[in-house]
Amino acid sequence: MTKEEFNLLLSEGEGYRFEFNENLSRLDREFVAFANASGGRVILGIKDSGAVDGVSMSLTSLWISAGKQL
């Protein structure tokens, strides 16, 4: 995805096939919802307002090392 494509997605906001998640919480629910629909994209580190906040790599590492199932 190019920077221009990413900026376009941010400007369009969340919708039926596109979801922003600030962090990894409730990510499993987003995946299930998209799996039960027609698919979609989840972008981590983005607030609902569209502001880019980022995700801490240490949080991601903890999630994976904890053996969480999605």
Strand partners, 21: 44
Q: What is the pLDDT of residues 27-50, one digit of tens each?
A: 788 888 888 888 888 888 888 788
- Residue 57 counted as domain residue: yes
Instruction: Give the chain's domain count.
Output: 1
Predicted TM-score (pTM) of the model is 0.63
- Residue 70 counted as domain residue: no
11 Cβ contact partners less than 8 Å away, ≥ 6 residues apart: 50
Which residue range is the domain that position 53 belongs to? 3-65
The per-residue pLDDT for 62 is: 55
Give the burial string for 46-61 (b: 16+ CB within 10 Å, else e).
beeeeeeeeeeeeeee
- Residue 31 counted as domain residue: yes
Q: How far apart are CA 59 and CA 13, in angstroms?
A: 25
- Residue 14 counted as domain residue: yes
